[in-house]
Amino acid sequence: MSEPKKATPVEFRTSGVLADKGVIVTEQSNIDALSSRGYGTLENKVFTLTFYESLYLLDKGMLEIKGEKGKAADFQSLLHCYEAQNENAWVNYLVYRDLRSRGYVVREGFGGGIDFRIYERGAYGKDTAPYLVLSTQEGTPLPVNDLASALQQCQSQKKELTLAVMNRRGEIVYYSVSQLTFK
């Protein structure tokens, strides 16, 4: 009989407060640790984690969140808040979690249908993101015009477009998207 898996030690723990656009980190001492690992944004001296970052860190045991009336927010309540803002919330979280588990630094996309920017391992803070990701769910229609627009945006920035598709089993499959050229 095999031994039970030992839980991996948590690198650090921090806490935050639920806000409209994510979670505001309240422990100033952890902001540098989070920022250097590619989490959150600092604006007007307020460090905010996106909902998908917060869900990931909460799932990893690295974040505690205070919700309404100081009550602790759990994974389901945080996901519900995210789904109220983004109908593609579950897919985005699963894609984010999958990419992070593969060692990539994942940052928010530029809009225009682009969900994420992906940095090569060890390149965050040193180089630009070479990949942009568009997330969708298997069976959900994706208009060709939206895909073409995202591709054009990527090509204008000299980046590669990756289509992340969550299949019916919740697995993420990645497709490289490029323009078809005839010779």
Q: What is the DSSP letter of 151?
A: H
**CATH T-level fold of 14-85:** MutS, DNA mismatch repair protein, domain I (3.40.1170)
Tens-place pLDDT, residues 73-119? 889 999 999 999 998 899 999 999 999 999 899 999 877 778 999 99
Average pLDDT on 145-158 reads 87
Q: Which residue has the tokens 């945006």?
A: 153
Which CATH number is associated with domain 89-177? 3.40.1350.150
Average pLDDT on 120-136 reads 85
- pLDDT of res. 84: 93
Q: Taking the model in full, what pTM does it have?
A: 0.87
Is the per-residue pLDDT at 3 higher than 60? no
Assess whether the region 14-85 and the region 89-177 belong to the same CATH fold.
no
Domain ranges of the chain: 14-85, 89-177
- For the chain, what is the mean pLDDT? 86
Task: Give whole-number Cα distances, 29 to 9, 33, 116, in Å.
Answer: 19, 8, 27
Is the per-residue pLDDT at 6 higher than 60? no
Is the per-residue pLDDT at 10 higher than 70? no
Cβ partners under 8 Å of residue 143, min gap 6: none
Confidence class for position 5, pLDDT limits 50, 70, 90:
very low
- pLDDT of res. 1: 46
- Could you tell me the two tokens for 161? 């477009």
Tens-place pLDDT, residues 23-36? 999 887 888 889 88
How is the beta sheet containing 72-73 ordered, strand by strand? 41-43, 46-49, 22-25, 14-19, 63-66, 72-73
Dihedral (C-alpha) 52, 56, 59, 65: value to the nearest 10 degrees? -60
- pLDDT of res. 100: 93
